[in-house]
Chains A and B, each alone.
Chain A
Amino acid sequence: MAEHRKGPLTGVRVVELTTAWAGPYAGQLLAHLGAESIRVESTRRLCVTRTAGPMADRVPGPDRAGYYGEYNQGKRSVQIDLSRPEGAELVKRLVAISDIVIENFAPGVVERWGLGYEDLRRVKPDIIMVSLSGHGRKGPLSHYVSYGPYLVALSGFSTMTGYPGWEQPMHVGMSYPDPNGGWHGAYAALVALWHRKRTGQGQYVDLSQWEAAVALLGDAVVAYSMTGHQPERLANRDPMMCPHGIFRCAPAQDGLPEGLLPEDRWLSIACASDAEWRALCRVIGKPEMAEDPRFATFEARKAHEDEVERAVEEWTATQEPYEATRKLQAAGVAAYPVHSNKDVAEDPHLNARNFFSLKEHPVVGVRKHTGIPWRMSGTPCEVWRAAPTLGQDNEYVFCRLLGLSREELESLQSSGVIS
Chain B
Amino acid sequence: MAVPALAGVRVVECGGMAAAAYAGKLLADMGAEVIKVEEPEGDPARRWGPFPDEGPHPERSALFLYLNQNKKGITLDLRQPRGQELLSRLVAHADVLVHNFPAPEMAARGLEYERLAAANPGLVMASISPFGLSGPHKDYKAHDINVMAAGGWVWLNGVTGRPDMAPLKPYGPQTEYQSGLAAAVAVMGALIWRLDTGRGQHIEVSGQEVVSTELEFVFPFWPYEERVPVRWGHRIVAPWDYFRCQDGWVFIICVEEHQWQRLVELMGDPEWAHWEVFGNRLLRGQNYDALKPFLDEWFAQWKVDDLYRAAQEKRIPLGPALDMPGLFASQHLQERDFFVEVDHPVAGRLSYPASPYRFLSETPAVPPGPAPTLGQHNREVYCGLLGLPEAELDNLRQEGVV
Contact = CB atoms under 8 A, between A and B. Distances in A.
A18 B146 CA distance: 33
A183 B174 CA distance: 13
Given A205-B359, A218-B67, A238 B145 contact: yes
A265 B26 CA distance: 37
A186 interface: yes
Given A172-B157, A379-B190, A195 B5 contact: yes
A195 B374 CA distance: 33
A222 B65 contact: yes
A89 to B, nearest CB: 25
Contacts of A190: 185, 188-189, 192
B184 A174 contact: no
B277 interface: no
Interface in A360-380: 364, 367-371, 373-379
Main secondary structure of the interface of A (DSSP, over half): mixed
A335 interface: yes
Contacts of B275: none
Contacts of A412: none
B171 A70 contact: no
A67 B219 CA distance: 8
A194 B201 CA distance: 17
Interface in B313-338: 315-328, 331-333, 335-336, 338
A245 B167 CA distance: 9
Interface in A257-281: 257-261, 263-264, 266-270, 272
B219 A152 contact: no
Interface stretch (A75-83, A350-358, A403-411): A350-358
Contacts of B189: 7-9, 33-34, 190, 376, 379
A211 interface: yes
B224 A341 contact: no
A138 interface: yes
Given A153-B320, A190-B189, A378 B199 contact: yes
A169 B202 contact: no
Interface in A168-213: 168-176, 178-180, 183-184, 186-188, 190-195, 197-198, 201-208, 210-212
A56 interface: yes
B171 A353 contact: no
A271 to B, nearest CB: 9
Contacts of A146: 317
Nearest to B256: A48
A236 B221 contact: no
A384 B361 CA distance: 33
A340 interface: yes
A348 B208 CA distance: 12
Interface in A137-161: 137-142, 144-147, 149-150, 152-161
B339 to A, nearest CB: 7
Given A55-B224, A163-B168, A221-B324, A350 B336 contact: no
Contacts of A193: 188, 192
Nearest to A229: B324
A158 B221 contact: no
A238 B144 CA distance: 10
A201 B217 contact: no
15 contacts: A64-B224, A66-B220, A138-B335, A153-B250, A160-B172, A191-B363, A219-B49, A221-B324, A221-B351, A236-B145, A248-B166, A268-B148, A341-B155, A378-B193, A379-B193
Interface of B: 5-6, 26, 30, 44, 47-53, 60, 62-63, 65-67, 113, 131-138, 140-159, 163, 165-172, 174, 177-178, 181-186, 188-193, 195, 199-206, 208-210, 212-231, 233, 236, 240, 242, 244, 249-251, 253, 255, 312, 315-328, 331-333, 335-336, 338-339, 347, 350-357, 359-363
Task: Across the A-B interface, give the 8 residue pairs with the lowest CB-CB distance, nearest first.
Answer: A66-B220, A378-B201, A173-B157, A53-B217, A8-B193, A173-B156, A190-B188, A218-B66
